[in-house]
Structure 1
Amino acid sequence: MSLLTLLPFIVLIGAMFLMTRSAKKKQQQAVEMRNQMQPGSGVRTIGGMYATVKEVNEDTVLVDAGPGVELLFAKNSIGAVLTDDEYNRIVHGVEHDLKSDADIVPDDASSLTETGDSAADATADDKAVDLGKKDAAEEPADDAPAGEAKTDEEPKKTDGDSEAK
């Protein structure tokens, strides 16, 4: 046999090796993450439930899912161990402020460029602009009296049928 006939088999075995290697690496990272759990850590289960770890055993984890609700999970069912900031943001809606309140940008950029005099002028110049389309039925025809629409056009078909079949 020549080397050329063995080449597809070698490539296939190499691809299988690389795929199993990356899967083992991900599995090892998950085991390390689960071993880092400590009481008080925020976790997300593989089912999407957020809870706080109360107790970590060899194969199980006791979590507090709410006032008076303690649940026992297998360690493998913990999908992620969250940082305190991430857990508080998701569960309690608390955003961790990294900036002071002085750095907040206003919603209206005009306050950044206007002086005191131009603010009064800008409100006087504001006019409502109608950007909506007007129907042909609303506009009066050139030779028809006001209030009557053109009726010489054929009604349009609405059922999607066409005459050319």
Structure 2
Amino acid sequence: MPVSSDIVATYKGPRRAYARILGMGQREDRALMILMAGCLIAFVARWPALARQAHMTGDDLNMLLGGALMALLFVAPLALYAIAALSHIVAKALRGQGDWYGARIALFWALLASSPLMLLNGLIEGMIGPGAGLQMVGFLWFAVFIWFWLSGLIEAESSN
């Protein structure tokens, strides 16, 4: 199934989508590609806001994009690996039965699956700027991300 179909399936039923992804077997290259795709989309989602900031303040857009690139494509993946490990340790303390790979896939897929809302948030931040609309879409993105992550973590930790 293409990634876009998997993302739509995640919005319809996150646990079923995670079960299907986990059923494909443990492949660390797949987990890394899911993570990097999510981080790349997060970087692209920042472009409109950074362009607005450069226009409004006179800052150099290339410097702003370079900083975002460094943060989202080099630092964020390391932080997300650490967060996934921490979530697995917490799940183990709560009698989870899963493994490290399942915890990583749950977090990484939540990031990628929630990316349409992340892109919408970036567009609103860049085109409209701060305000109630940006806060509502940002909250919606965060809520969906947490929903997907917890659903995936529950699925990953409930079966081995």
Normalised by the length of structure 2, the TM-score is 0.21
Mark the structure with the bigger radius of gyration: 1
Q: Which has the higher helix share?
A: 2
Q: Which has the higher strand share?
A: 1
Normalised by the length of structure 1, the TM-score is 0.21
